[in-house]
């Protein structure tokens, strides 16, 4: 906490306001905490009817059973979960979040997606963008 205070003081001395200093130095730690909480979630919180979309996926069990995604959005979520299982560093996880947001948004715009898939894709896009905005997947420098 002392390190954050020192960075805030330096940011304010350089002419930055308190809000921009807090956003720059305090929020990335929120994303780190969020990633850690997701990593240890003891249960799956999937969107209804989905196998991979949502935090806490028991990826090893689902892959061992051969679970497939229920649609293209769920397949994108599966790729995201695989990336999270491969990488624990924030840079790669942030990239996985961005890729999922892009794939989900493409499903929102897709003519072959059902209304339900479009709604779920919008929720996934929003969640990934919110996570990125608070520093999810980014490492503090």
Mean pLDDT lowest among 82-91, 97-106, 113-122: 82-91
**Per-residue pLDDT band at 23 (split at 50, 70, 90):** low
How many degrees, rounded to 5, is the angle at CA 126 between CA 103 and CA 59? 60
Give the Cα separation of 137 and 110 in Å (integer): 27
Domain boundaries, the chain: 2-133
Sequence-ordered list of residues with C-beta below 8 angstroms from that of 80, at least 6 positions apart, any chain: 52, 96, 97, 99, 100
Q: What is the pLDDT of residues 33-87, one digit of tens each?
A: 767 777 777 789 899 999 999 999 999 999 999 999 999 999 999 999 999 999 9
Where b means 16+ CB within 10 Å and e means fewer, 39-48 reads eeeeebebbe
pTM over cut 0.95? no
* Higher-confidence position of 14 and 107: 107
């Amino acid at each position: 906490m002392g390190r954050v205070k020192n960075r805030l003081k330096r940011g304010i001395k350089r002419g930055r306001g308190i809000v921009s200093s807090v956003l720059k130095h305090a929020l990335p730690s929120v994303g780190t905490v969020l990633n850690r909480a997701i990593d240890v979630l003891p249960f799956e919180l999937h969107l209804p009817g989905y196998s991979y979309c949502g935090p806490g996926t028991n990826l090893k069990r689902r892959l061992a059973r051969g679970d497939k995604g229920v649609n293209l959005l769920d397949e994108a979520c599966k790729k995201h979960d695989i990336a999270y299982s491969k990488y624990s560093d924030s840079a790669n996880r942030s990239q996985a979040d961005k890729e999922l947001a892009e794939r989900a948004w493409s499903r929102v715009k897709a003519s072959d997606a059902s209304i339900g898939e479009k709604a779920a894709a919008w929720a996934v896009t929003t969640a990934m963008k919110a996570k990125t905005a608070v520093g999810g997947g980014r490492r503090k420098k």
